[in-house]
Each structure stands twice: as C-alpha cells, then as structure tokens.
C-alpha cells in the first residue's frame, strides 16, 4: 500500500479519504485507470512534431469543469484499471512507436504510481522526455514527487477571476493555487529548450483556453504570465473551445468568434509576448476529443 493514498491530500480538494476503501472528489481509487493512449498529432508543434506525442489519457479529474470536452473520462470515469507494470509497458510501447515524448494527461491523482514507474525506467529503457499535462489545480506535494522525473510541464491557467472558477469548475481559489503550482513547475524545469528539430526537451508551456465572453479574464492571465516569466516560457492561446453539452451559462453555449480571438492575440502582441502558439481560424470546427477505447489496454 502507498501511505499517501490512505489519506489522500494530493490535490487542493484535500479529501483525506482512504482510496483503498472509497473515493474522494476526483473519483479515483488506488488503482491507475486509463481511458486511451496513442500518438497525438494535435498538441503544440514542439510536442507533437512529425511523429506525435505519446499521450496517455488518465480517467477521473479533480477539477471537472462543466464544459469539459473529455467528460466521458474526467467525470463519468470511463477507462480500465491497470497495473504499474502495464503502465510501464504502455510508455515503452509509445516510445517504440516513435513518440517524441510521454504525455501524461491529468495525472495528479495517480502521481505515486506514475513516479514509481518512472523511477524504474526513466533514463534506462525510457529515453524520451516526460510531459506533465495538467489543469494546474495542483498541490505542491505531487509536483515535488515528480521533481527530476518531469522534463516538460504543459499547464493550463484557466481563470484569473475566482468567481469564474467557482461557477465553471467548483473551486474558489483556482488562480492562487494554480499560480503557486506553475511557479513550482518553472522552478523545476527552467527556461524552455528545443532540440535541433525544434522539439521541446525541457521547459514550461502554459495554455490559455479563451472562453466566449471572457476576453478580459484571458488578457489578465496573459499579462500575469508575461510579467512573471517574460520569454522563458511558451504561451499557448487556444481558440478551440467547443460547447459539448447545453449549459446554464449562455456564453458557454457558443464558440469563440474570430474577432474575439484576434483581440486576445493583438493584446499579446501589445504586451510584447515573443513565444506563443496561436491556432488556425477553423480549429474549433475540428474534433480534439479522442475516440476513447479501452480495448487496446
């Protein structure tokens, strides 16, 4: 047994439950549950490159945003319980298939298991970078556990206004918690570095998913990130918000307009942001929701 999971305080919800006996807010037990894995071609170019990012989608989530595109796995819990040995095999299989990295999507609640696997294989049989893909609603504890195991942090900064965090993600202190977590991520990996093929070796990417009707919030996040980290991180401005279920907040029942997205891009340029990814105009018309399939596990 892992002592951390007997009194789980891994995330800011601090449920304190014994996950060998019950579950807390996220819904995860002591067993790792995975919904899918594949070579993902639609992450940021420095991650996906021409071969794909070796992405592992973990089931359950500690945030559960009401507009989540991956509701099937994050809220409904679709997936299959696997052993640590199977997780190791998946990572090595993705590496063998040519993945540029191993991309751990929403891994927080499984950090003790993941760390145990990585301590065994990272730098030995596993030679590619590890990406920790997170909502940033993180305690420092799991990040400390992953120190020297993670090469790249792929972090969201979802909200500046805590009222939005409460309404959309049921948490009151998102910005404070997330910015402290991002500080720890940056402390660990430092200024980003690319290899000769412009594939990321180490560093921090922070994503801003621009929500319809909340341009001011996105601008405040942009300003905070640039004032804090200047050109040492990469910012990813995302226009792909797509309504998947009817929502009580009417602004979330539509896509972001071209004009709204351009306004945020213009603001980034005005700030002097040098390293940022922007998405094509028709990105929101494409599907970024994988066809989750546990039959491959």
C-alpha separations of 174 from 62, 83, 133, 216, 293 in Å: 12, 32, 17, 17, 31
The tens digit of pLDDT for each residue in 176-221 reads: 999 999 999 999 999 999 999 999 999 999 999 999 999 999 999 9
* Residue 240 CB contacts under 8 Å (≥ 6 apart), including other chains: 209, 279, 283, 284, 286, 288
Placement of tokens 């351009």 in the chain: 262
Nearest of 104, 173, 172, 171 to residue 142 by alpha carbon: 104
Collapsed DSSP state (helix, strand, coil) of residue 293: coil
What's the CA gap between 87 and 105, in Å, rounded? Answer: 13
Q: Residues 89-116: what's their mean pLDDT?
A: 98
DSSP summary character for residue 10: S
Q: Does residue 270 surpass a pLDDT of 80? A: yes
Q: Does residue 284 surpass a pLDDT of 50? A: no
Structural domains of the chain, with CATH: 22-296 (3.20.20.70)
C-alpha separations of 37 from 16, 52, 89, 91 in Å: 30, 12, 12, 9
């Amino acid at each position: 047994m892992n002592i951390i999971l007997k009194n789980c305080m891994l995330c800011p919800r601090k449920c304190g439950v014994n996950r060998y006996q019950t579950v807390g807010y996220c819904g995860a037990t002591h067993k790792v549950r995975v919904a899918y894995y594949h070579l993902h071609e639609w992450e940021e170019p420095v991650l996906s490159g021409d071969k794909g990012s070796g992405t592992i989608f973990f089931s359950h989530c500690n945030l559960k945003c009401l507009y989540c595109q991956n509701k099937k796995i994050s809220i409904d819990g679709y997936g299959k319980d696997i052993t640590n040995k199977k997780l190791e095999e998946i990572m090595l299989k993705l590496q063998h298939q040519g993945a540029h990295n191993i991309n751990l999507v929403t891994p927080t609640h499984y950090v003790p298991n993941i760390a145990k696997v990585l301590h065994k294989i990272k730098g030995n049989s596993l030679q590619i970078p590890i990406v920790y893909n997170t909502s940033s609603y993180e305690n420092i504890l799991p990040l400390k556990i992953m120190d020297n195991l993670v090469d790249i942090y792929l972090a969201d900064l979802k909200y500046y206004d805590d009222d939005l965090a409460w309404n959309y993600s049921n948490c009151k202190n998102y910005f404070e918690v997330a910015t402290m977590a991002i500080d720890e991520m940056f402390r660990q990996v430092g200024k980003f570095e690319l290899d000769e093929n412009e594939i990321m070796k180490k560093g921090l990417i922070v994503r801003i998913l621009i929500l319809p009707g909340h341009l001011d919030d996105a601008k405040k996040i942009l300003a905070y990130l640039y004032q804090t980290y200047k050109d040492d991180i990469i910012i990813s401005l995302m226009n792909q918000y797509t309504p998947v279920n009817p929502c009580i907040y009417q602004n979330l029942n539509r896509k972001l307009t071209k004009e709204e997205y351009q306004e945020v891009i213009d603001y980034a340029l005005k700030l002097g942001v040098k390293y940022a990814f922007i998405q094509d105009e028709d990105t929101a018309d494409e599907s970024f929701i994988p066809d989750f399939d546990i039959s491959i596990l």
